[in-house]
Amino acid sequence: MARVLTISLNPALDLTIGLPALALGEVNRTDETHLSAAGKGVNVARVLVSLGHEVVVSGFLGADNDGLFRRAFADMGVEDAFQRVPGETRINAKLAEHSGRVTDVNGPGVAIEAEAFTGFLDELDARAADESRRPDAVVIAGSLPPGISADDQAALIARLRAQGLPVWVDTSGPALASAIAAAPSGVKPNELELADWAGEPLDNEPRRLAAGLRLHQSGIEDALISAGADGVLWVSHRGAWHATPPTMTVASTVGAGDTLLAAMLHGVLEGHAPDAALRFATALSAEAVRHVGVGNSRAADFPYLQQQTRVRRLNDVDAGGALA
C-alpha cells in the first residue's frame, strides 16, 4: 500500500444536524446532531486509511480547539503533521433534511499569516526530500482560509509537482481555476463546480465529456467529474470512462465526493484495471450517500452495490486530448 499526504488548508469541525425539513424562521426539532473533526482532506484520509494506506494529514489547525482533531487522528491511526496557528478552527453547520437536501453554513476559517505559510512550505520540502517520509501521492482538498490565495495554492501545487510528487486536487471557485492552470496530476470537481471553468453548464454527458477532454489536454492526467445520480466521468491516458451508480436513498451527500476521490486514487496507486477502479470508487461513493460520513467498503451489501454499478468505456483518448 502507498503513503499518502492529505492537505487541508482550511479544515473544520462539522456540526451535522439531521432534521425532517428545514423551516426558515421557525423553531426546528432535530433527529440528531453530531460534531466531528472534518474537512475534505480529513475525510479523504479516513477513506484511504480504511483501504489500508499509510496516511499523513497536514494543513493548519487553530490551536485553541484542536482536541477533537487530535482524538480523531489517533483513532484513525494517521500521522498528525498539522501546523497549529493562533485561534480556533472554524465550525461548519450542515443541515441534512430527510429529502436528501443539505444546507451548508460555512465559516471563513482561521487567518493564516505569511510566516506560518512559509514554515508549512519548508516542512513540505523537508518531507519530500526525506525518503523515509516522502509520500507516494499528495491530496489537496477543500477551501482556502483567509491569508492563502488561489495563487498561493497554485504555487503550492507547482512546488510539489516540481519535486516529482503526484498531486490530486478537490476544490471549487477561483481556487479550482487556478489549480487547473497549475496542472496537478488529478482533479475531482463536480459538474457545478467545473461549469465556470468550462464556460457553460455541464448538464449533459457530451458537455461533461468535452470538459474532461479539455482538462486532460491541459496536462491533467486524471480528470474525474462527478454528477450525482448521472454518474462519474473519468478521462485519463486509460481512456474515457463513465460509471452509473446504483439507485440509492439519499440521506446525506456530505463525504460522497471525498470518498470518490480517495477511492479513485486508491485504484490508481494500486494499479487496478480502469473499469474495476471506477466501479469500486463509484459504488463506494454511492454507499456514502445513504448515511452521514464517508463510504464503508466493509458494508455487508457493498459487493452488491459494485455489481449494480454500470461502467462503460466511451473511447480511447489520444495524447492530444481528443477521442481517438
- Annotated catalytic residues are 258
CB distance 72 to 42 below 8 Å: yes
Q: Answer positive or negative: Cα dihedral of 46, 48, 54, 55.
A: negative
Cα–Cα separations (whole angstroms), residue 155 to 121, 152, 163, 182, 194:
10, 5, 13, 7, 20
CB distance 278 to 264 below 8 Å: yes
* Lookup: cell for 129: 526530500
122: buried, middle or exposed (CB in 10 Å: 19+, 13-18, 0-12)?
exposed
- HSE-CB for 151 with a 13 A CA cutoff: 1
